[in-house]
Amino acid sequence: CRVVVLISGNGSNLQALIDQQAAGLLPIDIVAVISNRPNVMGLQRAAKANIPHQVVDHTEFDSRELFDTALQQCIQQFTPDLVVLAGYMRIMTADLVRRFAGKMLNIHPSLLPKYPGLHTHRRALDNKDLQHGSSVHFVTEELDGGPVIAQSQFDIQPGDTEDSLAIRIKQLEHKLYPKVVGWFAENKIALQGNQALYNGEKL
Ligand code: GRF
């Protein structure tokens, strides 16, 4: 399974995929890492793992459409079976999403459908939620709104802060995302209409 990973920053989820692949636990080939920001940690992680990496800098384009066209061309040259968004922080045009329908995953730090968008940890604390977590979903045209494939959750403790939640969430994400990417590589999951399937059954 040829995988292109899109990032905007740190890339700890990318690292989890790299590590699982290197350990022989994940049947994927990460053929490229593409960042919309130059000089980010995730690019260094790719370099260290000898993975081709490129920057398509959104600040160099006059519109979202022009940027996404360039990004799409960049992705396509690697002929991926799967595009994995791992801390990729740009909203995508419908065109780009449609081009990779059923072949693009995102990980979002909330228990979707709660808290699409930004500042999920703060929103969970403000609402005095008892639980928090992360979701992997197929990417559709609705921001963070595609069908959820799997979630990891944990109890919010008294004294938790945005930072402490972010740390705990990432620990879970580093197990959750490789697991779901592995399912995709093994043809266990699919998108049918607006429904995620696991072994042909609705999730
Ligand atoms: C993760 O928490 C993910 O849920 C969100 O962005 C963060 C990326 O972290 N979409 P990293 O760059 O993988 O460390």
Lining ligand 1 with CB less than 6 A are 9-13, 86-87, 107-109, 134, 169-170, 173
CATH of the domain at 86: 3.40.50.170
Angle between helices 41-48 and 12-22 (to 10 degrees): 10
For a pocket test of ligand 1, which of 20, 173, 174 has the largest count of ligand atoms closer than 8 A to its C-beta? 173
**Which parts of 44-203 are beta strand (E)?**
53-55, 82-85, 104-108, 131-138, 148-155, 189-192, 195-198, 201-202
User: What radius of gyration, in Å, describes the C-alpha atoms of the chain?
Assistant: 16
Q: Kindly give the distance from the C-alpha atom of residue 88 to the centroid of ligand 1, in angstroms, as a whole number.
A: 8
Ligand 1 atom nearest the C-alpha of 109 is 4
Residue written as tokens 């995988």?
3
Tens-place pLDDT, residues 95-118: 999 999 999 999 999 999 999 999
The pLDDT of residue 54 is: 98
Please choose from 170, 172, 175, 176 the residue to mutate so as to test ligand 1's pocket, defined by most ligand atoms within 8 A of CB: 170
Model pLDDT, residue 131: 98
Find the mean pLDDT for residues 184-189.
98
CA distance 196 to 109: 19
pLDDT of amino acid 186: 98
> Residue 196's Cα: distance from chain center in Å?
16
- Residue 160: pLDDT band by 50, 70, 90 thresholds? very high
Number of domains in the chain: 1
Domain hosting residue 53, numbered range? 2-202
Percent of all residues in the chain with a pLDDT value above 90, rounded to a whole number: 100
The pTM of this model reads 0.97
Mean pLDDT, range 135-153, rounded to an integer: 97
**pLDDT band for position 27 (50/70/90)?**
very high
Q: Output the residue whose Cα is nearest ligand 1's atom 6.
A: 87
106 annotated to a ligand binding site? yes
108 in catalytic set: yes
The ipTM, to two decimals, is 0.97
Kindly report the protein residue whose alpha carbon is nearest to atom 2 of ligand 1. Answer: 109
By the 10 Å C-beta count (0-12 exposed, 13-18 middle, 19+ buried), 198 is classed as: middle
Cα(46)–Cα(11) distance, rounded to whole angstroms?
A: 9
Q: Report which DSSP code applies to 38.
A: T
